[in-house]
A and B are shown apart, each in its own frame.
Chain A
């Protein structure tokens, strides 16, 4: 025990005397600031967006979805949906090797999914997303069949990320899961060189990458939580790229004012709404809920508080979501109409609502205060009670202990409204502590097994309209994913879902 501490002390002392090297990047090295260390790099262990913002460079799935949101071949060159969606046949890419030299083939695919769906996967959160897969059958070295217990319309997208990343069988069997957690091996454009927990990760280019060697020789990630600290590092040249979710909207003017920096934003998956307790209080009445929505000038909030880095939404999804209906318009800002509705519903001026928010969300903190001010103008007194994020998510909301309104920021990386709507509206779901609507349940269940995507989209749009009609939440906005880079970074394309693949990026 003492020895370990002493060694670490020595390392720290060495660091003390090593001197500071902010501006002296080697040629072709990019340093990224990421807000969180996922702790393990094993695909089946994680649920964190910031796992994906690094691991997308190390691992690949059978399918791939880049910044343009189109699903394209990844480690599979083509696929065929058979047997009414109960079987999918993949042709695998030949000549691909893992970073340790191991061959990528049908065996690796089978191993990956047996691991994910077996005991090892059971310890992590990813297994539940892939339960539609019954088993993987090897047809030949470069062909596999996925047998499903029920059709899963989103499965091909889900194969592009997280738990479905293909892992090397021999490496894991020989080295064990512990080694794999900290020194992951995949087929992606960058190899992991070293990982220091809570500090950072060093990667180097995989010269043999099947899609061509990356432009960068080296890649480093540093874990920096505080936005102001990350920005200070960016400004002083300590990092080249700050990825979301780090930079609050309020820091955008600072970035724009700095000649060395560039702001890059794109519509992200995260939508934010204030949901209602539909079971009691004044918000049990749909007309009151509509009045509260109409009382708030969402357009002005987006343009002033959010500096235009968001778009107002009509239902609980953004424009890129599958199930988005351009015909559905947000309720207008109409304080007079709101007052009339409130009066009709018998809500006297001075009625109160409590809004629960995440305490550490600087941007939303300002938004809620503006919302409270607007509600005040139609005679509804709003108090704000922030909770620590995890308390809100794991205790207050699931157990139905919120005030009349509560913050929900939600975004499935699959950009499929089913992911949102089912979790938010279906009876008995963790995120739906208050409402139970048999008709809505039925609509939600009906679209799930469909393989006809056009029909499924139509049903999802119907669900969105139905929920908006009942005013189940106050839809606020779809916030952009905010990246900031040093101008020496070239060819950077912002990933809406934070799954960054940096093989085409270079530095000057």
Chain B
């Protein structure tokens, strides 16, 4: 442990990143336990300023709901979207990338051309079109992100595999008659996890921002479910008379995304020093 503290991997970035990410995740996961029954509508307690009443440290919103409770509960949507979309993209992307890189052929063409198309489509414009068709919901937002992002992982993994498959340990395994499936799972996969993890961390951050943008544009989820983007959009109306309604959720997004970005940046230095995951 003390060796780690002295190593080059240990830095301010790492402490801040880990601290923010873990801290906020903890608050969000246990929000219903930390604030039982809070966040209910009370039209007699509208727009109370923060730090006035001990029951509402961050004040209340236009419907008299406790802002602090909603900020923590709202993180649940953001974290869900962030993590689920990334895990989904990774599962598809890594599998396709491995197959494409190892076997080449038609899969290779599919990956490369999908990558071209994905790069060429302006995401938010496409998103507002699709959401207009299917309606806004948590599932739809996640699906949309997976559809548009899996190919990033596929491309990354494919490039890695192309380099790795010429390496001695893979050639040796092939010569010894090890099955392709085992070569992929035992020899290739572990060697390309680093860059994938880095890209995952940065994309969780990115997707939290994208989700809040979509909700802000009015394409989000059920307004009774608190979400950071939705709170920001609603709070814009009250910005000049009740800043706390939008400033606290804004800070929550900023700190969460910052934590993940710091962590991702640090992971990149540690796991991927050559910078293959540059976005």
Give the interface of A toward B (CB within 8 A): 227-228, 248, 250-251, 253-254, 257, 300-301, 304-305, 359-360, 362, 365-366, 368-370, 372-373, 383-388, 390-391
Contacts and interface: CB of A to CB of B under 8 A. Distances in A.
Given A359-B218, A366-B62, A369-B41, A388 B224 contact: no
B222 A388 contact: no
B222 A227 contact: no
Interface string B96-140: 000000000000000000000000000000000001110110000
Contacts of A390: 132
A305 B63 contact: yes
A385 B222 contact: yes
B19 interface: no
Which 5 A/B pairs are nearest by Cβ-Cβ distance?
Answer: A250-B237, A373-B41, A360-B218, A254-B240, A253-B241
Given A305-B62, A305-B63, A370-B41, A362 B234 contact: yes
Contacts of A362: 233-234, 237
The main secondary structure of chain B at its interface with chain A is loop
A227 B236 CA distance: 9
Interface string B153-183: 0000000000000000000000000000000
Contacts of B40: 373
Given A251-B237, A254-B241, A365-B234, A386 B43 contact: no
B218 to A, nearest CB: 4
27 contacts: A227-B236, A227-B237, A250-B62, A251-B237, A253-B241, A254-B238, A254-B240, A300-B43, A304-B46, A359-B136, A359-B218, A359-B220, A362-B237, A365-B223, A369-B41, A369-B223, A370-B63, A373-B40, A383-B222, A383-B224, A385-B135, A386-B136, A386-B222, A388-B219, A391-B132, A391-B133, A391-B135
The main secondary structure of chain A at its interface with chain B is helix
Contacts, number: 70
Contacts of A248: 237
Given A228-B239, A388-B136, 6 more contacts: A227-B237, A251-B238, A369-B223, A373-B41, A391-B133, A391-B135
Interface string B217-237: 011101110000000011011
B132 A369 contact: no
Contacts of A366: 62-63, 234
Contacts of A305: 43, 62-63
Contacts of B136: 359, 386, 388
A379 to B, nearest CB: 15
Contact of B240 (A257, A360, A372): A257
A305 B43 CA distance: 8
A253 B135 CA distance: 33
Given A228-B237, A251-B237, A366-B62, A304 B222 contact: no
Nearest to B134: A391
Contacts of A384: 222-224
B219 A359 contact: yes
Interface in B232-264: 233-234, 236-241
Interface of B: 40-41, 43, 46, 62-63, 131-133, 135-136, 218-220, 222-224, 233-234, 236-241
Contacts of A369: 41, 63, 223-224
Contacts of B224: 369, 372, 383-384
Contacts of B223: 365, 368-369, 384, 386
A384 to B, nearest CB: 5
A65 B238 CA distance: 36
B136 to A, nearest CB: 7
Contacts of B220: 359
Nearest to A249: B237
Contacts of B62: 250, 305, 366
Contacts of B236: 227-228
A99 to B, nearest CB: 39
Contacts of B135: 385, 387-388, 391
Nearest to A367: B63
Nearest to A365: B223
Contacts of A253: 241
Nearest to B237: A250
A363 to B, nearest CB: 9
Contacts of B63: 305, 366, 369-370, 373
A250 B62 CA distance: 8
B272 to A, nearest CB: 40
A157 B135 CA distance: 38
B132 A370 contact: no
Contacts of A300: 43
A360 B216 CA distance: 10
A300 B234 CA distance: 20
From A248, A366, A372, A387, residue with most partner B Cβ within 10 Å: A366
A353 to B, nearest CB: 13
Contacts of A365: 223, 234
B208 to A, nearest CB: 21
Contacts of A250: 62, 237-238
A103 B46 CA distance: 59
From B46, B219, B241, residue with most partner A Cβ within 10 Å: B241
A383 B221 CA distance: 11
Contacts of B222: 383-386
B215 to A, nearest CB: 10
Contacts of B241: 253-254, 257
A254 B46 CA distance: 16
A260 to B, nearest CB: 14
Contacts of A373: 40-41, 63
A388 B214 CA distance: 12
A385 B240 CA distance: 29
A50 to B, nearest CB: 19
A384 B63 CA distance: 16
A333 to B, nearest CB: 12
Nearest to B40: A373
A479 to B, nearest CB: 15
